[in-house]
Amino acid sequence: MTSSPLGTDLPYLSATDAQSLFASGELSPVELMRAVIERTEEVEPVINAFTERLFDEALAQARHAEDRYLGKGGLAPRPLEGIPVAAKEKHAIAGRSLTEGSLVHRDNIATENHPVIDRVLAAGGIVHARTATPEFSIATYTHSRLWGVTRNPWNPGFTPGGSSGGSGAALAAGTALLATASDIGGSTRVPAAFTGTVGFKAPYGRNPGLGPLTADHYRGDGPMARTVDDCVTLQNVLAGPDPRDHVSLRPKLTLPTRYQNAEGLRLALCVRLGAYDVHPEVEANLRATAQALADAGAHVEEIELPWTREDLLTAIAGHFSTIFGAVVTEVADRHRGQLSSYAVTFAETMAHARTRVTYLDSLRAEQRLQRQLSEAMAPFDSLLCPTTAVPGWHAGDDLADERLTVNGEERGAALWSAMTVPFNVNNRCPVLNVPSGMSSWGVPTGVQIVGHTYDDPTVFRVGMALEQARPWAFTPEHRPML
């Protein structure tokens, strides 16, 4: 294959463009992997997105990918052939560490691949690195005693979000073309918003996982990317049933790769989701995205949801304390001294919540929230709302105080800074985060595109229409200056 003229832009190629260049012979998978590795060496000392680098194996796999594109051995290129994919550390790789960011599990070795890993590898993707999370993936920021602080490439004083913060940071920093993520309360969408990337919370069961928490209907695994096209590509690899996960849906839904424009779409715009205090810059960027879609031919109507903080808190407290919180509490009871301070606080909060709210209480609140959303969305194809109530928060901040303080100023209630968990409560809704703009804090903001239950194609149609109406690209003039 010939040498690419793209030079330093190689790490910021979209996966779609990279594969076109592979197929035409203008770029080698080996050349791309070397460029990504070089970029990693430049920026990782600042960003700290990776927990493990698999570069030797990745280069060997890139050579095999090159052979496929050259037609050697009679093997055709696969859907992700030769693409560098950063994998969230909690997505187990057999024979490698599986710590989930905890000193308690620092000696754990995975005995099998997570389904996400199996599907990426089977599609020809190259897992060249693994990405950082907060301990047990329980937070909307990314730092731990095991791995230190992961920072936002756009502004290293800020977090890339969490829990898939390492994945979002890697994409924004140009050290991966695609990344895997998971989401139980916003763990894909918050880092996507803060890093100016695209993240998809698939509806429950769409993508297979591993137990026991795959049985938790708030959570699921999914894709992150720098473009909507690339997110579609990875999602189509991840979707479909797996015998290890009985809730994984069949038949597999394959998303279209081409969509109609915004003409005729009926979109609801909701700024507050009934209960959130939204920063003026987040609201302004949201309204700009809605206007761009309206100018492109969509009908946009502003609505308000009747959601209350009481119902949201009841749903969250009863659910998390019974399932996810109980898992962390079990660890804290035996290994409290090895946990991060926020993990201990989480365990204690969940233990207290179990004395105040029952799982039945949470189900009743969930049902009210789900019905209210369903009724409000009935006249529309999709709902637009902010991903977070504020543009970001500082790297290393545990958000332990009741009030969120950023740049020396109070910015509202810390608990209500992410606007993602209502759509884990409404767990059958697909939700796509797409960049909505930049804030004066030097970090991006995001918009959530919420679909009706299991209507994944519509959220991607809206996402692509928005990407065309308000282009967001990691160009030399518009990317983190590290």
Fold of 7-469: Amidase signature (AS) enzymes (3.90.1300)
For the chain, give every domain's residue range.
7-469
Give first-to-last CA distance, the chain, whole Å. 31
pLDDT of residue 1: 54
Active site residue 88: yes
Query: Residues for the chain: how many in total?
Result: 482
User: Strand (E) positions, 215-310?
Assistant: 220-225, 266-269, 299-302
* Per-position DSSP letters for 41-69, written without gaps between them: HHHHHHH--EEEE-HHHHHHHHHHHHHHH
Active site residue 163: yes
Residues 6+ apart with CB under 8 A from 223: 178, 179, 180, 181, 199, 200, 231, 234, 235, 238
pLDDT digits (tens, 9 = 90+) for 219-262: 999 999 999 999 999 999 999 999 999 999 999 999 999 999 99
Q: Which phi and psi (to 5°) does residue 455 adopt?
A: -95, 65
The residue behind tokens 């993602």 is: 420
The residue behind tokens 């160009």 is: 475
pLDDT of residue 482: 85
pLDDT of residue 3: 46
pLDDT of residue 449: 99
- The residue from 14, 102, 182, 187 that is catalytic is 187
Phi-psi region of 323 (alpha: psi -120 to 50; beta: other; left: phi over 0): alpha
- The residue from 163, 164, 167, 340 that is catalytic is 163
**Contact call for residues 151 and 48 (beta carbons, < 8 A):** yes
pLDDT digits (tens, 9 = 90+) for 421-448: 999 999 999 999 999 999 999 999 999 9
- The residue from 88, 102, 144, 182 that is catalytic is 88
Across the beta sheet with 220-225, the strand order is 50-53, 126-131, 84-88, 178-183, 220-225, 198-201, 431-438, 444-451, 382-386, 266-269, 299-302
pLDDT digits (tens, 9 = 90+) for 121-143: 999 999 999 999 999 999 999 99
Q: Could you give the count of Cα atoms lying within 13 Å of 227 in the half-sphere of its Cβ?
A: 17
pLDDT of residue 7: 60
> Which residues of the chain are under the pLDDT cut of 70?
1-8
